[in-house]
Amino acid sequence: MGKRFSILADPMIAVLLLATALAFMMPASGEGRQSAQLVSNVAIFVLFLVNGMRIARGEIARGFTNWRFFGPLFAFVFGAMPLIGLGLSNLALTALPPMVAMGFLYLGTLPSTIQSATSYTSLAGGNVALSVVGAALINIAGVFITAPLFALLAGSEAADIGTETIIRIGLILILPFMIGQAVQGWTIKWLQDRKSQVAWLDRLVIGIAVYVAFSGAVEQGLASLFGATGWAILIALVVAYLIAASGCAWLTGGMLKIAREDRIAFLFAGAQKSVAIGAPLAAILFPAEIAGFVIAPLLLYHLLQLMIAAPVATLLSDDQALG
């Protein structure tokens, strides 16, 4: 019997809920929002610097040699998932504000989340090493792929990835990651000994980015745009997306005829989505008054994936033990 995992034990849920609640109750506005945005940008820079320090270059190199697993995984994450998101985005336009509907497409173009995908793969008895490398490779690729892929599918009127945006992405996301990769020989052991502190850095930066994004949306009347019916539709579409993503990832692993342990890794690395990339990138891609609308589906998806993945991983673990 595998180790049981309680979603209530995951502090990320509390961080997301707290950041959202603070934005609704005390949104950063005027000069305060500009200062909050600056703090957010600095925090994002530090986060990606640390990411570059802790993802071992050797793991990345080894990952590229297993294309029977990683080729289909990349195609699923950056091919199938965006197409599902595009379909749901068009469907959502009939009932939700346009920027919220576009959030489903943005959600679809994001990479996987490393931490929870790895945790649930371990809980389910899957191939943890493959999950770590897969999610790490997808996250690195996402820094380069998500923005242009989203712009391509959304159209230039929705996302104009101009020179200024490219420079911001380069300076705030790519540059610190490259610096981290360059110095990781001196830092990776130090970071490995401080995993709990690094995990809280992740949560803090995500919380700041979410707070800043939702502050702008609250000022633009986010609360008044949604009635009970609107929230119900949004939640239903997010649940549908998560079920479709998880089902398709599991079926794809079966069609590939990979080992059960690898199939479990494919499920969680393929269907999980990263708020750690999504919230900071949205803060760069979109004006503050828009970003909160766009990441609304992402935040709900992230919370629901934590809730649903725990019992799914336990069920898979139990099935494996019985088998």
Q: Is residue 7 part of a domain?
A: no
Judge whether 17 lies within some domain. Answer: no
Residue 24 located in a structural domain: no
The rounded mean pLDDT for the chain is: 80
How many domains does the chain fold into? 1
What are the Cα distances from residue 103, in Å, to 88, 292, 299?
10, 9, 10
Distance of CA 269 to the CA centre of its chain: 11
Question: Is it the case that residue 218 has pLDDT exceeding 80?
Answer: no
Q: Does 3 fall in a domain?
A: no
- Return the CATH number at 61: 1.20.1530.20
pLDDT of 7 reads: 46
Write down the pLDDT at residue 1. 41
In the predicted structure, residue 125 carries a pLDDT above the cut 70: yes
- The answer on pLDDT for 3 being more than 60 is no
Residue 57 lies in a domain: yes
Is the predicted pLDDT of residue 188 greater than 50, yes or no? yes
Average pLDDT over residues 170-180: 81
Q: Tell which wins on pLDDT, 159 or 298.
A: 298
Question: What is d(CA 113, CA 166) in angstroms, rounded to the nearest whole number?
Answer: 23
Which residue range(s) make up the domain with 86?
30-315
